[in-house]
Amino acid sequence: MLRYILGRLLALPFILLGVSLVVFLLLRLGRGDPAVDYLRLSQIPPTDEAVAAARVMLGLDRPLPEQFLTWLWNALHLDFGQSFVNRRPVLDELLYYLPATLQLGAAALAVTLVVSVPLGIWAARHRDRLPDQIVRGIAFLGVSVPNFWLGFLLVLLFSVWLGWLPPMGRDGATSLLMPAFAAAFMSLSINARMLRASMLETAGQRHVLYARLRGLSERRVVGGHVLRNALLPIVTAVGMHIGELIGGTLVIENIFGWPGVGRYAVSAIYNRDYPVIQCFTLLMTLIFVLCNLVVDILYAWLDPRIRLKGEAPS
């Protein structure tokens, strides 16, 4: 187990290196000249001399490999450059907004699990009857409804009409409810459907039949034998949705005036503030990769078949 975790941790720097190279290359080879954008955001007229000077200042006159190595060296010292807009260190800015995003993301994950697990069990235990139909309906809505629109509908219902919850801002647990639910709705509906399918599959297996034959109560059969094995696919499913959850969180922040990296990144993209865009992408990727690592470790821990084999499919 320890070896497995160590191996995965050792792979991490290489993954990040690869991603930073791809991100760097795309930014440099993409359209547009960072020097021109730098001048525009600094409100300096882009004369030929000014562009040339900016290119030297930003190191754009150097060969690409040298630019990348310089960037990498600085990045290893946690220096990701300065924002073109306000000249503040990019990493500091992003880390300032990150806690709010992580809070919302964690809340969305919690909502996903707290809602989807009971729904999945409920549907599986009443297969093809009303509860099952309801859960299927929710699952279908979940993959079809735009999360930002759902956010507005929630505001409409709970803030405008009922006046129960604050429509915007980050102020205590009540302000977290709507954004978390809106960001989580897609993952929770997919999760509920997967848990249902996986419980029905497990319920047909022999060890469950044997547990029933031993005269165990329905509660113990479902809890100890069906659910326990059915939860494994859920762990994988959660891993698959983490990207979706991150994306959802970034969009939802913009609706609820949630002071996270999503709103900051959108304005940076709009302004073509390259250092911010670059650092934002890497930061989100790092979080994504770390979450997946946790999921994989959890999976290995839950499933002896993987744990004892020593390595898991990545």
Q: Is 255 in the site for other proteins (CB under 8 A)?
A: yes
For the record, the structure tokens of 27 come out as: 């930014």
Determine if 64 is a binding residue for other proteins (CB under 8 A). Answer: no
In this structure, what token pair is assigned to residue 171?
Answer: 């102020």
Q: Does 156 bind other proteins (CB under 8 A)?
A: yes
Query: Among 285, 296, 299, 306, which residue sits at the site for other proteins (rule: CB under 8 A)?
Result: 285
Between 4 and 274, name the residue whose CB sits nearer to other proteins.
Answer: 274
Q: Does 164 bind other proteins (CB under 8 A)?
A: no
Residue 281 beta carbon to other proteins: minimum distance, rounded to whole angstroms: 4
The answer to whether 137 contacts other proteins (rule: CB under 8 A) is: no
Residue with smaller CB distance to other proteins, 107 or 268: 268
Cα(153)–Cα(77) distance, integer angstroms: 45
Q: What is the DSSP string of 36-48?
A: HHHHHHHT----H
**Alpha carbons 34 and 48: distance in angstroms, whole number:** 14
189 in Cβ contact with 150 (< 8 Å): no
Scored b (16 or more CB within 10 A) or e, 233-250 reads bbbbbbbebbebbbbbbb
Report the 10 Å Cβ neighbour count for 162: 9
CA neighbor of 305 nearest in space, from 62, 66, 20, 1: 1
Longest dimension (CA), the chain: 86
Only segment of 2-10, 79-87, 174-182, 283-291 that touches other proteins (CB under 8 A): 283-291
Q: Per CB under 8 A, does 122 bind other proteins?
A: no
* CB neighbourhood size of 259 (10 A): 16
**Nearest one of 261, 271, 302, 272 to 102, comparing CA atoms:** 261
List the interface residues with other proteins, window 193-232 (CB under 8 A): 197-198, 200-201, 204, 206
Nearer to other proteins, 53 or 197 (CB): 197
Does residue 132 bind other proteins (CB under 8 A)? no
Q: Point out which span in 25-33, 75-83, 105-113, 302-310 binds other proteins (CB under 8 A).
A: 25-33
Q: Which of 192, 60, 225 is nearest to 116 (CA)?
A: 192
Number of residues in contact with other proteins under rule CB under 8 A: 56
Residue 272 touches other proteins, criterion: CB under 8 A: yes
Contact between 9 and other proteins by CB under 8 A: the answer reads no
Q: How far apart are CA 282 and CA 242, in angstroms?
A: 16
Single out the segment in contact with other proteins by CB under 8 A; choices: 43-51, 55-63, 285-293, 297-305.
285-293
> Which whole-number Å values give the CA distances from 270 to 98, 136, 294, in the listed order?
19, 39, 33
- 243: Cα separation from own chain's centroid: 4
When asked if residue 277 is in the footprint of other proteins (CB under 8 A), the reply is yes
**Candidate residues 2, 3, 10, 31; the one interacting with other proteins per rule CB under 8 A:** 31
CB 305, min distance to other proteins, A: 18
The residues binding other proteins (CB under 8 A) are 15, 18-19, 21-23, 26-27, 30-32, 140-141, 143-149, 152-153, 155-156, 160, 167, 197-198, 200-201, 204, 206, 242-244, 246-248, 250-251, 254-255, 265-266, 268-270, 272, 274, 277, 280-281, 284-285, 288-289
